Amino acid sequence: MYRILIILISLAVSSRVQAQQNRAIEFPDVPGYYTLACDLHMHTVFSDGSVWPNIRVQEAHRDGLDAIAITDHLEYQPHRHDIPNPDRNRAFDVAVNSNGDHPLIVIPGSEITRSMPPGHANAIFITDANALVAPVGEEAIDAREVFEEVARQGGFAFWNHPAWTSQRSDGVAVLENMHRELIDADLLHGIEVVNQFTYSDEALEIALANNLAIIGTSDIHGLVDWDFEVAQGGHRPVTLVLAEERTAEGIHEGLRARRTIAWHRNTLIGRESEIVPLINASITVAGAEFRGGTSILEVQLENHSDARFILRNTSEWTFHEDIDILEVSPHTTTTFSLKTLEQETPYLISFEVMNAITAPNTHPEITLTVTTND
């Protein structure tokens, strides 16, 4: 009994170690673009977070991220009696210094902390966070001024957690007149469709209707490992930016061009123009051959991504063993059998990708061309 207990404990520890080793968020590049994993909303002790900026950098290293932005609150400083913060650029400076020569890109940013409207918003790629701080007692005065300052600094602004129940008690993201004015003036460029644990259909609709970048963020305050249960196979939400260059400038351009996908709880959320190329790069046909002298075609699919794809067969052929749902595990090869009725290739096999969303209740479809190895 004692030996069995030791074996079970060893297996549990081994499973946890493997989850830690495999934690890097990995998606393939797509034709013409690098696929860069970015977390653009997080906090440290320099506002209401629980960790020093170097911890955010170390977590990003372990998660294999390409870029982060530490976006501490400008106006909300609950730790100010213990950690006075006269320089709102300090968290960024500490993070950059702790990053050393690691290829992680650390982007300067801050969280504009206002009542609704406009609510909270992140300003990234800014040059001086101090210039964005509202004078004490004036947070409610025309918030447009701070967005204009972000624009003067060449920054990128996106609306944070628009479905946050502290500012929207019904949990429904609603576009207010001020948001429309900011969008029309090119002062608001994106919206969080995913924030921490929450996905918003309404935020996605707002993004699609107003040509805003689709953003997914962790908004992490504590530890990534605890909040997102990394040891159990979980992952933080991130924004996948399709960038022409693996640089800060490349990410900025990709955000401006709206080439973004949110990655949240094994679900890809974005426009079809970005999601379909990423899925096509992620799932490829590794091989196919007929079984014995039959017309049963055995197809091997290789998954080059972190997504556990859930595919629903929408082609004219049916599976031999499986029902119409196929699960393709991350970074593995999966085999399924197709009843073709006759040995004639190629076959065009179409799937609805159930763990990808291009609009509320809308899943993209892909078509794979399958030929035999003969």
Mean pLDDT per 10-residue segment, the chain (374 residues) = 43 41 90 98 97 98 98 93 94 97 98 94 98 73 88 98 95 96 98 98 98 98 96 96 98 98 98 98 96 91 98 93 92 94 87 98 96 78
Instruction: Identify the pLDDT of residue 318.
Output: 92
Instruction: Identify the pLDDT of residue 139.
Output: 58
Residue 304 and residue 296 in contact, taking contact as beta carbons nearer than 8 Å? no
Task: Identify the helix (H) or strand (E) that includes residue 107.
Answer: strand 105-112
DSSP single-letter state for residue 135: P
Instruction: Identify the pLDDT of residue 321.
Output: 83
Q: Identify whether residues 228 and 318 lie together within a single domain.
A: no
Instruction: Identify the pLDDT of residue 55.
Output: 98
Tokens (6 digits) for 165: 């129940």
Amino acid at 302: E
End position of a domain, from candidates 217, 240, 270:
270
Q: Identify whether residues 63 and 134 lie together within a single domain.
A: yes
Overall domain count for the chain: 2
Instruction: Identify the pLDDT of residue 341.
Output: 87
Claim: this prediction has a pTM higher than 0.85 = yes
What residues contact 53, with CB distance under 8 A and at least 6 apart? 44, 46, 70, 91, 92, 94, 95, 98
Please state at what angle helix 53-62 crosses helix 90-99, rounded to 10 degrees: 40
Q: Identify whether residues 137 and 29 lie together within a single domain.
A: yes
Sign of CA dihedral 87, 93, 98, 99: positive
Q: Identify whether residues 171 and 240 lie together within a single domain.
A: yes
Q: Identify whether residues 227 and 356 lie together within a single domain.
A: no
Residue 77 and residue 122 in contact, taking contact as beta carbons nearer than 8 Å? no
DSSP single-letter state for residue 212: P
Q: Tell me, what CATH number does 340's domain have? A: 2.60.40
Q: Identify whether residues 203 and 139 lie together within a single domain.
A: yes
Instruction: Identify the pLDDT of residue 15.
Output: 39
End position of a domain, from candidates 247, 270, 293:
270
Instruction: Identify the pLDDT of residue 20.
Output: 47
Q: Identify whether residues 133 and 198 lie together within a single domain.
A: yes
Q: Identify whether residues 108 and 205 lie together within a single domain.
A: yes
Q: Tell me, what CATH number does 48's domain have? A: 3.20.20.140
In a domain, 140, yes or no: yes
| Helix, strand, or coil (residue 146) | helix
Q: Identify whether residues 47 and 184 lie together within a single domain.
A: yes
In a domain, 6, yes or no: no
- CA distances to 24, 48, 62, 132, 140 from 145, rounded to whole Å, are 39, 24, 38, 9, 11
Cα of 167 vs its chain's centroid, Å? 23
Q: Identify whether residues 165 and 142 lie together within a single domain.
A: yes
Q: Identify whether residues 179 and 293 lie together within a single domain.
A: no
Residue 307 and residue 270 in contact, taking contact as beta carbons nearer than 8 Å? no
d(CA 347, CA 339): 11
What residues contact 67, with CB distance under 8 A and at least 6 apart? 36, 37, 38, 39, 40, 104, 105, 106, 107, 241, 248, 251
Residue 67 and residue 41 in contact, taking contact as beta carbons nearer than 8 Å? no
d(CA 67, CA 47): 20
Taking only the tens place, the pLDDT of each residue in 132-151 is 998 766 555 578 999 999 99
Tokens (6 digits) for 366: 């892909």
Structural domain of 360: 282-370
